[in-house]
Amino acid sequence: MTEKLFEQDAYLKECTAKVVKVEGPRVWLDRTVFFGFAGGQQSDSGTINGKAVIDVAVDGPDIAHTLEGNHGLQPGQEVQCVLDWAKRYRIMRMHSAGHIVGVIMEEKLNNPEYFGSNVSVDKARLDILWPENVRPYLAEFEAKANQVVKAARPIRVYRDPANPTRFVWECQGLKTMECCGTHVRNASEVGGIYLKRESKGKEKERIEVLLEA
Ligand SMILES: [Zn+2]
């Protein structure tokens, strides 16, 4: 099983690791800082021994890294993993923003059903089944979310004591959520949040969560 260092410390930007398996461009390590696409969160970029990591995927209990070109890595080799930290940190801010807005929205709309959610560098999106245009609610959601940011509420992610394979996201004062992603430690790091609405068809509403900077 790949040791997922981001589960202990989302702020870890690099690590050394040992190559355990190689299949063409794909490389498996004993431990990694690279987050593989999961729970709607975009995967990380960066380098392993200076070679660009072009894809990171969850592979059962492991993480598979796809490298560009002829990486030349061999099992047993020690390598240096370096994250594209600017990208990861922005995803962390986006993911935390998505949850803050999500909790506020769920409370107001009484837990509508989701048909999708996603977190990327540019935006987080919450796709819900809802019979009306959600635009009239957005100003309220936005104001409440920005209050959480201004109040600098601490955020933590911890293993669910009732089911240690799952993780719980908690922003002080808000309802907890299940999550497997990476987050900032404090809501103040998110910065200004603004929201947009998109229709995704009959009774399907999308709330886009964007950051001011
Ligand atoms: Zn999440």
* Owning domain of residue 178: 88-211
pLDDT at res. 174: 97
Q: 135-150 and 85-109 helices cross at what angle (nearest 10)?
A: 120
Q: Rounded to the nearest whole angstrom, what is the distance from the C-alpha of residue 149 to the centroid of ligand 1? A: 17
Q: Do 102 and 196 fall into the same domain?
A: yes
Q: Do 202 and 109 fall into the same domain?
A: yes
Q: Is the pLDDT of residue 201 over 90?
A: yes
Residue in 123, 181, 191, 121 with CA at minimum distance from that of residue 152: 191
Q: Rounded to the nearest whole angstrom, what is the distance from the C-alpha of residue 48 to the centroid of ligand 1? A: 26
Q: Rounded to the nearest whole angstrom, what is the distance from the C-alpha of residue 52 to the centroid of ligand 1? A: 26
Q: Do 57 and 142 fall into the same domain?
A: no
**Percent of the chain residues past pLDDT 70, beyond the cut:** 100
pLDDT at res. 39: 82
Q: Rounded to the nearest whole angstrom, what is the distance from the C-alpha of residue 169 to the centroid of ligand 1? A: 7
Number of domains observed in the structure of the chain: 2
Q: Rounded to the nearest whole angstrom, what is the distance from the C-alpha of residue 123 to the centroid of ligand 1? A: 13
Q: What band does 78 get if pLDDT is binned at 50, 70 and 90?
A: very high
110: CATH: 3.30.980.10
10: CATH: 2.40.30.130
Residues with CB under 5 A from ligand 1 (ion): 179, 181
Single residue among 83, 115, 132 that ends a domain in this structure:
83
Distance CA 41, CA 81 (A): 20
Distance CA 77, CA 166 (A): 32
pLDDT at res. 185: 98
Single residue among 33, 57, 83 that ends a domain in this structure:
83
* Average pLDDT value for residue range 62-86: 97
Single residue among 83, 113, 138 that ends a domain in this structure:
83
Averaged pLDDT of the chain: 97
Q: Rounded to the nearest whole angstrom, what is the distance from the C-alpha of residue 179 to the centroid of ligand 1? A: 4
SS (H, E, C) the chain: CCEEHHHHCCCCCEEEEEEEEEECCEEEECEECCCCEECCECCCCEEECCEEEEEEEEECCEEEEEECCCCCCCCCCEEEEEECHHHHHHHHHHHHHHHHHHHHHHHHHCCCCEEEEEECCCCEEEEEECCCCCHHHHHHHHHHHHHHHHCCCEEEEEEECCEEEEEEEEECCCCCEECCCCCCCEHHHCCCEEEEEEECCCCEEEEEEEECC
Q: Rounded to the nearest whole angstrom, what is the distance from the C-alpha of residue 21 to the centroid of ligand 1? A: 29
* Average pLDDT value for residue range 9-15: 98
Q: Do 103 and 206 fall into the same domain?
A: yes
Strands 204-211 and 124-129: antiparallel
Q: Is the pLDDT of residue 162 over 90?
A: yes
Q: Do 98 and 184 fall into the same domain?
A: yes
Q: Rounded to the nearest whole angstrom, what is the distance from the C-alpha of residue 154 to the centroid of ligand 1? A: 16
Q: Is the pLDDT of residue 69 over 90?
A: no
Q: Do 31 and 121 fall into the same domain?
A: no
Q: Rounded to the nearest whole angstrom, what is the distance from the C-alpha of residue 82 to the centroid of ligand 1? A: 23
pLDDT at res. 144: 98
Distance CA 89, CA 76 (A): 30
Q: Do 38 and 99 fall into the same domain?
A: no
Give per-residue pLDDT as tens, 87-111. 999 999 999 999 999 999 999 999 9
Q: Rounded to the nearest whole angstrom, what is the distance from the C-alpha of residue 141 to the centroid of ligand 1? A: 18
Give per-residue pLDDT as tens, 140-150. 999 999 999 99
pLDDT at res. 38: 86
Q: Rounded to the nearest whole angstrom, what is the distance from the C-alpha of residue 6 to the centroid of ligand 1? A: 14
